Homo-oligomer: A and B are copies of this chain.
Amino acid sequence: MTELPQDSVGLVTPETAHFDDPLPLACGRTLPAYDLVYETYGTLNAERTNAILICHALSGHHHAAGYHSLDERKPGWWDAHIGPGKSIDTDRFFVVSVNNLGGCHGSTGPNTPNPETGEPWGPDFPMMTVLDWVHSQARLADRLGIERFAAVVGGSLGGMQVLQWTLSYPERIAHAAVIAATPKLSAQNIAFNEVARQAIRSDPDFHDGHYAEHGTLPRRGLKLARMVGHITYLSEDAMGSKFGRDLRSEDFNFGYDVEFQVESYLRYQGDTFSTSFDANTYLLMTKALDYFDPAAARGGDLAAALAPASCPFLVVSFSSDWRFPPSRSKELANALIRAGKPVSYVNIDSPHGHDAFLLPEPRYQAVFAAFMARVAHDQGLEDRR
């Protein structure tokens, strides 16, 4: 690439914030010290009223928009929605995107050194929860001088963090956008996560998580985990129209080489992921998903659990999402209504399944942009374009 797109935030460089104050975790352990890697796009205004926090999903990271170099093949994972003139308009907003603790893209996690041993944490890294992430994100906000986010925004597991923000720090979040998420995983969601975990943990190269010491990588397990994941991210229709029963060659080979295009796609996705993502991180991310259930402490009464929330919500689901289907977003929207909270709920007609939250569907963009315009208005931000 010789020139970046006009509506890109352009070249970005991740930053690292080091924290020496111990972080008590939901699992009962304490993280003695930690780094958070993050990116920012746009400029924090003098009043510090235009900050947006982006929360990432299972395999996400801090690189949500722009490019790390001109050689980068693809921009950040949410580039469709973050940039000058985009839904999250960086001419207006100051965007903070952080790699969660336990991640594998620079923030403290299983593949970073345990200060007590000097060796990578590996499987000894403490189990993380959505609550822990929100606390660590609040500390990053302190560090950046952001007392209150104009909005906290995220899809999937990112949406769960948004929801937790409204409960843990209601005074520090002015608007919440919970996209393609669920107030808790279903038994089927947990079941798919468990298959992924068993695939990784039963890989002989996993060595109980100590693969780094053994000089191995549980590639087979991570590949399978990602293949299963991909099936749940795409709708049956999207997979059908993308691949159908198309053959890779002209005829059946009556063997176990790739016969159908969909097999080729899944194997490729799995192979790529298996060498680029940390297995211990994948495991703990799936557990964080399983654990999330803010209503549990209130006997399953979600409306009661939402009592602390005080900001306006946008809740978005996608018609063909079967991982976190519209019914789960409706459950949240209805509980917010019962709790007397201001909420807009939109179900976007899309064939792209759960992955739709990442894509530039026009109606989704219109809804998202309108919500962010309201955020700007409520925060008294001038249009600086």
Contacts and interface: CB of A to CB of B under 8 A. Distances in A.
Contact of A267 (B127, B198, B243, B287): B198
A11 B188 CA distance: 38
B231 A192 contact: yes
A270 to B, nearest CB: 7
Given A28-B254, A220-B202, A240 B188 contact: yes
Contacts of A198: 223-224, 227, 267, 270
Interface in A106-138: 126-127
B224 A260 contact: no
A293 B245 contact: yes
A31 interface: no
Bin chain A's interface residue count.
Answer: 35 or more
Nearest to A283: B256
A297 interface: no
Nearest to A293: B245
A190 interface: yes
Contacts of A199: 199, 224
Interface in A177-191: 184-188, 190-191
A195 B164 CA distance: 34
Contacts of A291: 252
A263 B286 CA distance: 13
A27 B259 CA distance: 14
A240 B197 CA distance: 20
Given A255-B127, A256-B197, A224 B236 contact: no
A239 interface: yes
A202 B227 contact: no
A61 B22 CA distance: 59
Contacts of A342: none
Q: Which 6 A-B pairs have the closest CB atoms?
A: A27-B254, A187-B239, A127-B254, A202-B220, A187-B243, A188-B236
